Amino acid sequence: MKFLRNKATVMPLVAISATLAFGVPQAGAQGLFDMLFGGGVRHEPQGEFPPPPKHKPKVPGSGGGTKISSPSYYTYKADRLVRIDFSALAAAPMPAAPQDAAFVPSATGAAFHDAIAGLSDYELYAEPDIAKALIAYYSANPDFIWVTGTGLNSRAQDAVRVLGEAASYGLEPADYTVNVPAANASPADANAQLKELVRFEMSLSARVLRYAHDAQNGRVEPNRMTGYYDFPAKPLDLQGVLKTMAHTQEVRTYLESRHPQNAEYQALRVELESLQASAENEIVVDPKLLLKPGETSPELPKLLTLIARNLDDEMGGAYGETLARLATSEVYVPELVPVIEAVQKKAGMKGDGVIGPRTVATLAGTSKADRLLKVEVALEELRWLPSDLGSPRVFINQPAFTASYIDNGEEKLKTRVVVGRTTNQTAFFYNQIKQVDFHPYWGVPQSIIVNEMLPRLRSDPGYLDRAGYEVTDSRGKRIPSSAVDWGAYGANIPYSVRQQPSEANALGELKILFPNKHAIYMHDTPQKSFFNQDMRALSHGCVRLQDPRGMAAAVLGTSVDDIAEKLKHGHSTEDVTRKIPVYVAYFTAWPDMSGKVEYFGDVYDRDTRLKQALDATEAVRSPSS
């Protein structure tokens, strides 16, 4: 009889199988395959799967090198602007009865109809949906919004001011620029004045619509950037925006309400304003520096200067002479390694002597330019989320490697997490928590079966049987792993594999589900040592929790003792009856509960990709008039 061993406990696999009832397989669930097969589970697994044999036999038709690929990143393409076709307005006679029943013509209605002729050769460009909405609105409501008599009204003045303040939200002011007619101008030709006013009318309406869209949805469509982003559409009634503008004097209030209305967005705006007014760091170190003992970098003297400047008595006594003597060294010599290790340990890091981005950020901080980019990116990303983030909620921030349970403005639980490796990235999306599984089964994703199990299965088809895994065919019938001709398959394997509940299960003792197409969830793990590492992008994509019992208790509205009691009774599930949104988010700048913005490394290089998408959007918008 084989045994599964885990430090202090030894349990026969047969006993585990007999005690825990079978459950429904979790199709496509992702998780890290945290054990080695054929000889039990090691106390500290060093890898995920045994390597395939070096000289495995080639089987005809086996698709030997076939892999299931992860989502990819795309070259971002912004919507091309179109010239607004005003001919439909010019061709339409002044309606006796307006098409829009809510439209009430003003004394300037006739002037507006006469002014339309001034648009015949006007080149105004806008996004296709904005161009369409503009013509539809003015066809149904043939009157000025922003002009009263022969001048700009208070609505126009408020709108122009709001558009001019776009930079305070991390937006690009040039995207919303309009040519404002000079006040008190008295052109000799009344027709020329009317022409200027109607062009201003259309231009301001087009830019107000762009601003409202950008404030609510962001300048970039995230799902066009990568398959790792998954956000639902946030519909905006563009004609409705113009109708509101025409019937309110609270233009500023309305436009500002299009932005996210949460404390995090406001804290990031405050940080942006502070950064814009601040000076650059005195010493700027390359944030992506990676320097190992024996290597050379011109960035090293900068770091040594910062260390020497902040020495306390203890560190000064131990390393002051070394720093003074080697202050200008660009070579990371052995004498400097203990200095770096001591600085790292003092900052709460592992103290491995390798100078990487985290060490640089600790010693040099983040440069002003980098912080500005992170805050602007964070503001853009927040526009992809609901304006009200909800309470209670679970917020996972991948770059921070943390998950928090927040209720009524209080962070009641914060725990370390492990997220996906750079080759198996965790997606960025939000959903709603549905269920907690105790002693869960792990439904092994096809990508893991194909990419990581199949190489060994071709030479050792029975190892899944020995390691506590179940194989079922397309009809759900359980069959021995050893009975499958694994060499006959490539990427399309007509079998499902799941791991039984046990101490060795890759999901640990519980998982927290929020159904999504990425098959990502939160779960426990046997690999506790990973939580001691600073950089915790180490999983196949799911989110591993250092305190799974605490999170389960939080979402179920119960105590940790109650969770421990449930775990005594084997495999079971419990629905989460409250509405608890969960954000599997990616923010390299994020405020804590006091509003202080913290900065994190761009582990997946997504800030860079978003900046490229923003630049692509600006390139499309820049020729607009």
Q: Does the pTM of the predicted model rise above 0.85?
A: no
Please indicate, yes or no, whether residues 475 and 518 belong to a single structural domain of this protein. Answer: no
On whether both 513 and 449 belong to a single domain, the answer is no
Residues 335 and 401 in one domain: no
233 in a structural domain: yes
According to the model, what pLDDT value does residue 567 have? Answer: 95
Of 219, 241, 275, the position where a domain reaches its end is 275
Nearest C-alpha neighbor of 508 from the set 535, 532, 542, 538: 542
Could you tell me if residue 606 is inside a domain? no
**In a 3-state reduction of DSSP, which class is residue 586?**
coil
List the one residue out of 360, 365, 350 whose CA is nearest residue 304. Answer: 360
> Are 474 and 520 found together in one domain?
no
Q: Per residue in 211-266, pLDDT tens?
A: 999 999 999 999 999 999 999 999 999 999 999 999 999 999 999 999 999 999 99
Cβ burial of 158 (10 Å; 0-12, 13-18, 19+) is: buried
Give the model's pLDDT for residue 15: 35
Q: What is the 3-state secondary structure (H, E, C) of 204-231?
A: HHHHHHHHHHHHHHCCCCHHHCECCEEC
| DSSP structure class, residue 486 | G
With H, G, I as helix, E, B as strand and everything else as coil, classify residue 134.
helix
> Is residue 575 in a domain?
yes
| CB neighbour list of residue 204: distance below 8 Å, 6 or more residues apart | 145, 146, 156, 159, 160, 178
Say what the pLDDT of residue 361 is: 85
Helices 190-217, 128-140: crossing angle, 10 deg rounding = 130
Mean pLDDT of 136-146: 95
Q: Are residues 335 and 254 in the same domain?
A: no
Shared domain for 127 and 234, answered yes or no, is yes
Flag whether 450 is in a domain.
yes
From 118-132, 488-502, 522-536, the region with the lowest mean pLDDT: 488-502
From CA 353, how far away is CA 332, in angstroms rounded?
10
State how far the alpha carbon of 131 is from the alpha carbons of 85, 134, 137, 179, 251, in Å: 8, 5, 10, 18, 21
Structure tokens at 339: 């200095």
Terminal C-alpha separation, the chain = 78
Residues 346 and 313 occupy one common structural domain: yes
Q: Which strands make up the sheet holding 442-443, listed edge to edge?
A: 442-443, 496-499, 469-472, 478-479
Residue count of the chain? 625
Q: Summarize pLDDT for 260-309 with one digit per residue, the tens.
A: 999 999 999 999 999 999 988 778 899 889 999 999 999 999 999 999 88
**Alpha helical stretches, state H, 237-365:** 238-247, 251-257, 263-277, 300-309, 313-325, 337-346, 357-364
Give ∠ CA 63-65-71 in degrees, rounded to 5.
105
Radius of gyration of the chain (CA): 30
What letter does residue 296 receive in the DSSP assignment? B
Residue 351's region, left for phi above 0, alpha for psi from -120 to 50, else beta, is left
Q: Say whether pLDDT at 88 is over 50.
A: yes
**3-state secondary structure string across 343-390:** HHHHCCCCCCCCECHHHHHHHHCCCHHHHHHHHHHHHHHHCCCCCCCC
Residues sharing a CB contact under 8 Å with residue 568, sequence separation 6 or more, in sequence order: none
Q: What is the pLDDT of residue 299?
A: 94
Name the nearest CA neighbour of 588 among 574, 604, 601, 573: 601
- Domain co-membership, 463 together with 431: no
Q: What is the pLDDT of residue 27?
A: 34
User: Comparing C-alpha atoms, which of 584, 579, 524 is closest to residue 557?
Assistant: 579
Buried b (16+ CB within 10 A) or exposed e, 391-411: ebbbbbbbbbbbbbbbeeeee
Whether 558 maps to a domain, the answer reads yes
* 576-607: pLDDT as tens digits: 999 999 999 999 999 999 999 999 999 999 99
Count of domains in the chain?
A: 4
Q: Is the predicted pLDDT of residue 432 greater than 60, yes or no?
A: yes
Tokens of 27: 């199709």
Cα 560 to Cα 548: distance, rounded to the nearest angstrom: 10
Distance CA 178, CA 196 (A): 12
CA gap 565, 495 in Å, rounded: 35
Higher pLDDT, 456 or 389: 389
Dist. CA 521–CA 543, nearest whole Å:
6
Q: What percent of the chain clears pLDDT 90, i.e. is strictly above it?
A: 62
Look up tokens 């010239």; give the residue: 83
CA pair distance 453, 474, nearest whole angstrom: 19
Q: Residue 323: which domain range?
A: 300-364
d(CA 598, CA 604): 18
Q: Residue 64: what pLDDT?
A: 52
Better-predicted residue by pLDDT, 10 or 454: 454
Tell me how far the alpha carbon of residue 439 is from its chain's centroid.
30
Better-predicted residue by pLDDT, 91 or 322:
322
CATH code, domain carrying 553:
2.40.440.10
**Residue 204 forms part of a structural domain:** yes
Tens digits of residue pLDDT in 480-512: 989 899 988 888 888 999 888 887 788 999 999
**CB environment 233-251: b (16+ within 10 A), e (fewer):** eeebebbebbbbbbeeeeb
Cβ atoms < 10 Å from Cβ of 114: 13
Same domain, residue pair 225 and 175: yes
Q: State how far the Cα of 140 lies from the Cα of 567, in Å rounded to an integer.
A: 64
CB-based contacts of 353, cutoff 8 Å, min separation 6: 293, 337, 338, 340, 341, 344
How confident is the prediction for the chain on average, in pLDDT? 85
Residues 136 and 14 in one domain: no
Concatenated DSSP letters of 100-119: STT----TTHHHHHHHGGGG
Residue 51 lies in a domain: no
Q: Report which listed range, 105-114, 228-237, 317-326, is most confident.
A: 228-237
Most confident residue range from 35-39, 185-189, 206-210, 286-290:
206-210
Count Cβ atoms within 10 A of the Cβ of residue 147 and give its class: 0-12 exposed, 13-18 middle, 19 or more buried.
Answer: buried
Q: How far apart are CA 449 and CA 470, in angstroms?
A: 13
pLDDT of residue 365: 80
Q: Which two structure tokens, joined as six digits, stand for 521?
A: 């969830």
Q: Determine the pLDDT at residue 138.
A: 96
Strand-strand pairing, 510-513 and 537-539: unpaired
Lowest mean pLDDT among 158-167, 329-338, 480-489, 515-524: 480-489
- Does some domain include residue 63? no
**Dist CA 6 CA 553 (whole Å):** 25
526 shares a domain with 450 = no
Whether residues 316 and 427 fall in one domain: no
Q: How many angstroms separate the CA atoms of 374 and 283, rounded?
A: 19
| Strands (DSSP E) found in 502-602 | 510-513, 522-523, 537-539, 543-545, 572-575, 581-585, 589-591, 597-599
